[in-house]
């Protein structure tokens, strides 16, 4: 199983970063390999979380694959969990965390945690897309940081 994990300090608030990652409909605009995303269902839960069921299409050259996941948006705890439902993977799990870290130079900062584990069902698809997926998924958190900089107008901090 392939795993990607990172934690980056960014010059944006935890709630801003949560909102950015939770806005899944915008992913085709800036997420590597994401060519389409459609939310099928959106449900508010009694515990205050929101659950989405979404179809994401990833494309690279002539290869195009879609998969369905359940996305749990836990705003109170600043966490997002993505659970795989169907598609070309044997399994896929994605977690985001957003930890407020106070202020630096008068601006809110937070640590954004990103974890992804995945395995393709097909050995052929794994050979065809595996290394490219690894490279793209490794750039996911950076893509969100750049998007936050563009939307919220503040540069990210130098790596710590």
Q: Residue written as tokens 């934690």?
A: 7
pLDDT digit string (tens) for 82-118? 999 999 889 989 999 999 999 988 889 999 999 988 8
Q: Note the pTM of the prediction, 2 decimals.
A: 0.86
Counting the structural domains of the chain, the total is 1
pLDDT digit string (tens) for 49-84? 999 999 999 887 777 889 999 999 999 999 999 999
Instruction: Write the DSSP symbol of residue 84.
Output: E
What CATH number did the domain enclosing 40 receive?
3.30.530.20
Q: Is residue 159 part of a domain?
A: no
- DSSP letters for 139-159: THHHHHHHHHHHHH--PPPPP
Domain of residue 10, residue span: 2-151
Q: Is residue 54 part of a domain?
A: yes
User: Is 117:1 a contact under the CB 8 Å cutoff?
Assistant: yes
Paired tokens of 127: 């050979």
Q: Among 86, 51, 94, 57, which Cα is nearest to 70's?
A: 51
Q: Is residue 131 part of a domain?
A: yes
Q: Is residue 157 part of a domain?
A: no
Q: Bridge partners of 60?
A: 63
């Amino acid at each position: 199983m392939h795993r990607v994990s990172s934690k980056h300090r960014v010059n944006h608030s935890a709630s801003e970063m949560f909102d950015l990652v939770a806005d899944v409909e915008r992913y085709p605009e800036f997420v590597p390999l994401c060519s389409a995303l459609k939310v099928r269902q959106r449900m508010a839960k009694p515990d205050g979380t929101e659950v989405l069921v979404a179809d994401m299409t990833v494309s690279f050259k002539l290869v195009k694959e879609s998969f369905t996941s359940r996305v749990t948006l836990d705003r109170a705890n600043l966490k997002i969990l993505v659970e795989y439902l169907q598609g070309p993977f044997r399994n896929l799990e994605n977690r985001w965390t957003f930890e407020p870290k106070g202020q630096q130079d008068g601006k809110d900062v937070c640590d954004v945690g990103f974890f992804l584990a995945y395995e393709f069902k097909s050995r052929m698809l794994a050979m065809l897309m595996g290394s490219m997926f690894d490279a793209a998924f490794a750039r996911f958190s950076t893509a969100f940081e750049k998007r936050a900089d563009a939307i919220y107008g503040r540069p990210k901090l130098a790596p710590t």
